Amino acid sequence: METTRNVIEDRIIDFFADLFGQVFTSPFSSEIESRLKRKKVTRAIDGTADAASQSITRLLLNERLDLPQVDAMLGSYADLGDHLDLDVIGNANVAPESITEALLPHLPAPALDGDERLESLYRVALHGIIQVVTLVGPVMVEWRRIGFADTFEVLQRIVDRLNRMSQQLDVLGRSGLEAADERYELTYRDYLMQRFHRVEAGTVKMTTNLNVDLRELFVMPRAQPRKHEVTEGQTIVEDLMDLSAARQRFHFEGGQLPADRAGNGKAPRRT
């Protein structure tokens, strides 16, 4: 079983190496005159492809696919690079879902013997491939724009992030996920961490887009515990904090609460 697992991992790694080589390495190499720089760019892209392959490896292994089924799926994706436009996958405003739907009619259906579960998984895996490609694409385009500068660190941060995600999710995978619901939870976490790890932030987007790591953006909310009382009839009564008490509890420095604006009353300052 372990041998089969290793073979599946190798097949997926090779698939991503070929895909990233076709989509990124080949067009970039023709633009780089220095052989040393070409080799450096190629190594960086190869490392990114390896990191990107991990999510699909987890997906197919968690779904208990055997080697012929994996080969059937990867074979149907063999020409995927011919249909990926660098301008499209490098555009952060294009959603992976729309690209996936546009690609499906152009890819041959895999021989899955009419298995509905595998046919659904085929679409999920394709979306996962496109999702990681569109995660990397805008970074590659930006690196290309600045002449593949040696000081460009964003690509390595993407690789580090993909590797950290894999380490976190692999811990869950090794804990013995046997139930279908648990395997689905792992797959869904994988999707969310890649799709919504970053959000666009900013008010005026004239010169650049600012991406913010959701883990840095999140702020732990301040909450006031409710008091509970039990009456003779054992009915729990919630003693909710009234508005004036809430204002005293949560002071606003030099500002107004939304409700205050209508009444032209200002919130109390901190003392």
For 248, residues 6+ apart whose C-beta sits below 8 A from its C-beta are 268
> What's residue 153's pLDDT?
87
Task: Tell me the pLDDT tens digit for each residue of 131-147.
Answer: 889 989 999 999 999 99
DSSP element (H, E) containing 190: helix 180-195
> How many helices and strands in the chain, by DSSP H and E?
12, 4
CB 11 within 8 A of CB 70: yes
Helix (H, G, I), strand (E, B) or coil at 207: coil
| 54-72 confidence digits (pLDDT tens) | 888 888 888 888 899 999 9
Q: pLDDT category, 88, cuts 50, 70, 90?
A: very high
Ramachandran region, residue 240 (left: φ > 0; alpha: ψ -120 to 50; beta: rest): beta
Highest mean pLDDT among 3-12, 191-200, 228-237: 3-12
Task: Give the separation between CA 268 and CA 271, rounded to whole angstroms.
Answer: 9
Delimit the domains of the chain by residue range.
2-199+209-217, 227-263
**Bigger pLDDT: 216 or 73?**
73
Of 182, 183, 171, 148, nearest in space to 34 by CA: 148
* Residue 201: partners with Cβ closer than 8 Å, 6 or more residues away: 210, 211, 212, 217
